[in-house]
Amino acid sequence: MKKVLLIEDEKNLAMFIELELQHEAFSVTVAYDGQRGVELALEQEWDLILLDLMLPDLNGLDVCRRVRAVKKTPIIMLTARDSVVDRVSGLDSGADDYISKPFAIEELLARMRSLLRRVDMADEPENQQVISCGDLVIDLAARTVMRGDETIELTKREFDLLVVFAQNRNIVMTRDMLIERVWGFDSEAETNVVDVYVRYLRNKLDSDSKERFIETVRGIGYVMR
């Protein structure tokens, strides 16, 4: 479970964000002022910090600078101020992303997931370019898939979908999650396109085997075991 520190002085907004993030399986701690926020940020380890710009005691820019001087924790800045100067100031102080209020919770969640993915990818060893799932071998650099001695020909979209499954083994992926990761969170693709591509993958991966790599989780989505 990813740990998120939310530093936000608007209590109603903070409560709303906290509930939404908990619903998405994040562990959330809230600080309502900059001083307490920077203390928590430095005392504990966090996967991501959501930081309001306008805070009592210590503003968001100062909090961001103090955290960034010590840690590389990903930071998304939240603010009602949307001028170019404000955005530049936030990013220059060390924030990784910037979202303006009011925002849709879906956009915030998408930005969080995108940033966390980039961090996870950056933490992977550079030579970890091959994923093995039983007798299935996926070479990320060469973009090839082998099952035993047989090469499995996949389209770009099929390959990208397979990689998402392989990198999230034993994690149930909803159709919306797969749309976001393979087609992009701003894609207009319908969720039923996922079913079509999963069928394509199964036909190519499981043609000579009774065992399925990708299982259907009824009413939710799919999982690769």
Q: Are residues 167 and 97 in the same domain?
A: no
Q: Are residues 36 and 96 in the same domain?
A: yes
Q: Of the candidates 97, 123, 149, which is a domain's last residue?
A: 123
Q: Are residues 89 and 147 in the same domain?
A: no
Q: Are residues 74 and 151 in the same domain?
A: no
Q: Which domain holds residue 190?
A: 130-224
Strand partners, 43: none
Residue 51 near residue 76 (C-beta atoms within 8 A): yes
Question: What is the pTM for the complete model shown?
Answer: 0.57
Q: Are residues 24 and 75 in the same domain?
A: yes
* Band (76; pLDDT cuts 50, 70, 90): very high
Q: Are residues 111 and 171 in the same domain?
A: no
Q: Are residues 21 and 88 in the same domain?
A: yes
Q: Are residues 90 and 70 in the same domain?
A: yes
Closest of 52, 56, 29, 27 to residue 40, by C-alpha: 29
Residue 50 near residue 4 (C-beta atoms within 8 A): yes
Q: Mean pLDDT, the chain, as a whole number?
A: 86
Q: Are residues 23 and 90 in the same domain?
A: yes
pLDDT digits (tens, 9 = 90+) for 168-216: 888 888 888 888 888 876 666 777 899 999 999 999 987 665 567 899 9
Q: Of the candidates 123, 156, 173, which is a domain's last residue?
A: 123
pLDDT digits (tens, 9 = 90+) for 133-145: 888 899 988 899 9
Q: Are residues 115 and 137 in the same domain?
A: no
CATH number of domain containing 78: 3.40.50.2300
